Amino acid sequence: MSELAVVLDFLRQLGANNSKPWMDAHRADYQRARGVSNRLVADLLQRAQAFEPDLASLSTSDVVYRINKNDRFQQSDEPYKRHMGAGLKRGGRHSPWAGYFVALEPGGETYVGAGRWLPEPAQLARIRQEIHYGPDAFHALRQDATLLQHFPTGLDRSNALKTAPKGYDRTDPDIEWLRLKSYFVWRSFPDAEVLRPDFTDRVVAAWRAAQPLVSYLNHAMQDHG
C-alpha cells in the first residue's frame, strides 16, 4: 500500500472534523501526513528540476502550501484546507508566474495542473497580446498531442469573460481563447490511482508535457518593454 494512504486518510478525517480543537488533538497525525506529503513534493521537485530550469533554485519549503486557510480566499468558516499541495514555479509558491501544481485530496479530488490561474491584469493583457500576434504558436501548444494525452480536456475554459476583452473585436477568430481569464490545464485522479506505485511518474510526465505551455506563458507575461 502506498504511504500516500496516510495523507488521504488524515485529510478524510480532517474534512469531517475541520476545527482547531480537533487539529490540536491530532497534531501528531497531521505531522505524519505532512511528512509523507512533503517527501512526495521533494521527489517531484527534484525530478521537475531536470526539465524546468526555472525551478533550479527552489527547495521543498519554497513550494509547499500551508494547510491553514488564507482569509482572503476563505469561502467557509473551516480553518483548514481539505488538501495538501504545492506550487512549483519561479520564485516559489506565491509568485505570479506560471508553473506546476499538485494537491492531494480524498474523494477523487486530487489534482495535477500547470499554467497560470487568474493572472494579474497586466500579465493577462500580455498573454492575450501574445495570442493575438501569433495565434499559430498558441494553438500548436494548446492542441499538442502529448499535452492532451495527460490533460484530455485541454485548457480550462470555465473562467472566461462573457464578451470580448477591451481592445479586441468579438468577431476575432481567436476570441474564444482571448476571453479566458486563466490559462491552465489540470486533471483529477481517483484515490485508487493516487495510491498506485506509478502516481509520481504520472505527475512528472504530465508536468513535462505542459512545460512548453508554461514556458510560453512565462515568456508572454514578461514585460518586454
Q: Tens digits of per-residue pLDDT, 110-121?
A: 999 999 999 999
Best CA proximity match to 222, nearest among 140, 134, 122, 133: 122
Express each pLDDT in 14-45 by its tens digit: 999 999 999 999 999 999 999 999 999 999 99
How far is 177 from 181, CA to CA, in rounded Å? Answer: 9
Report how many domains make up the chain.
1
**Amino acid identity for residue 55 in this structure:** L
On whether the CB atoms of residues 55 and 208 are closer than 8 A, the answer is no
Mean pLDDT of 64-93: 86
Q: Given strand 84-89, what is the order of strands in its sheet?
A: 84-89, 99-104, 110-116, 183-189
Q: Does residue 100 have a pLDDT over 90?
A: yes
> Which range of residues forms the domain containing residue 214?
4-221
DSSP helix/strand/coil, 137: helix
Q: Does residue 57 have a pLDDT over 60?
A: yes
CATH number of domain containing 216: 3.30.930
How far is 134 from 194, CA to CA, in rounded Å? Answer: 38
pTM, two decimals, is: 0.94
How far is 181 from 165, CA to CA, in rounded Å? Answer: 10
Q: Which residues of 174-194 are buried (b: 16+ CB within 10 A; e: fewer)?
A: ebebbbbebbbbbeebebeeb
Best CA proximity match to 79, nearest among 18, 26, 24, 27: 18
